[in-house]
Amino acid sequence: MIPRPALPELERAFGAYVAGGRLPAPALEGAVSDPARLSIYHNHFLITLSEALGATYPVVRRLVGERFFAQTVRAFIQHSPPRSPCLFEYGEGFAAHLAQDDRTRALPYLPDVARLEWTLNACDHAAEAKPLSAEALARLDLDEPRRLELALHPACRLIELDFPVDRIWLAHRQDPVPPIPLEEGCVRLLIRRDGEGTVGFTRLAPGDFALLEALSRSAALEAAVGAALDAEENFEPAPRLARLLRLGLFVAAIESQGA
């Protein structure tokens, strides 16, 4: 009689089979009366994760078609199984997976579409936070911008893409799909969840993007404004910052002790 494996070994073997679909004999041999029945768990695993990825990447799915998408997500699942029980946290590496797939070369913008859709998903599930008000900012000492840091709202993301993916994404939510001029090139997008819980995106001018990107790295306001001026010669800090503040993009202002 083949001895039963210890419980930790059995759990590892079962998990490996559910994720990979290959029976890791002899780990499960003798512990399971009918190993073939384990395929039920493997199939459920694939179906659940495929449906989750389809919900996260609906435009990618439409661009490549159902059959191609099903094949691609299954390959991704085999290569990158989830590390968290939360389904909405799964799929961050899908854009990189698409970029390495030779079959997607005819759609060079496809990984960028996936990056946008992942970022929309991340903003949708980001933590709640109360936006910084203009009144709260007014109470701080703005005479020392070197000491002032603005923290971005957790439901706010910045993304820079090589293709006009915002237009591609919107077009493929319509039927029929209108033509998209890919020669527009790079876009800088702000993705955020508003006070009503709706996630959307908007294009940013180079100065606004540089300002927010610097602030996202915990740069002081003075340094962030400097980055904005480098990116956009005619950047006007006061009205631009006021507009971004009205959008609820910041959650805290910190007066650092250093100069």
Counted domains in the chain: 2
Helices and strands in the chain: count of H runs, count of E runs: 11, 5
The sheet with strand 187-193 has its strands ordered as: 156-161, 187-193, 199-203
Say whether both 100 and 178 belong to one domain. Answer: no
Say whether both 167 and 249 belong to one domain. Answer: yes
DSSP element (H, E) containing 53? helix 39-56
Q: What are phi and psi of 176, to 5 degrees?
A: -75, 165
Give me the pLDDT at residue 7, please: 55
Structural domain ending residue among the three candidates 78, 107, 136 = 107
DSSP element (H, E) containing 202? strand 199-203
Closest CA to 18 of 8, 31, 5, 28: 28
Residue 117, domain member (yes or no): no
Say whether both 150 and 251 belong to one domain. Answer: yes
Domain coverage including residue 28: 1-107
Q: Which residues contact 230 (CB under 8 A, 6 or more apart)?
A: 210
Say whether both 131 and 102 belong to one domain. Answer: no
Question: What is the torsional sign of CA 44, 46, 52, 58?
Answer: negative
pLDDT (tens place) for every residue of the chain, 259 residues total: 455 556 566 556 656 666 665 655 555 555 556 666 677 777 888 899 999 999 999 999 999 999 999 999 999 998 898 888 899 999 999 999 999 999 988 999 999 999 999 999 999 999 999 998 877 777 765 555 566 888 999 999 999 999 999 999 999 888 888 888 777 889 999 999 998 999 999 999 999 999 999 999 989 888 999 999 999 999 999 899 889 999 999 998 776 655 4
Taking the C-alpha atoms of residue 257 and residue 127, their distance in angstroms, rounded to an integer, is 28
Say whether both 91 and 136 belong to one domain. Answer: no
- CB count within 10 Å of CB 110 equals 25
Give me the pLDDT at residue 16, please: 64
Structural domain ending residue among the three candidates 79, 107, 135 = 107
Taking the C-alpha atoms of residue 38 and residue 174, their distance in angstroms, rounded to an integer, is 41
* Predicted TM-score (pTM) of this structure: 0.85
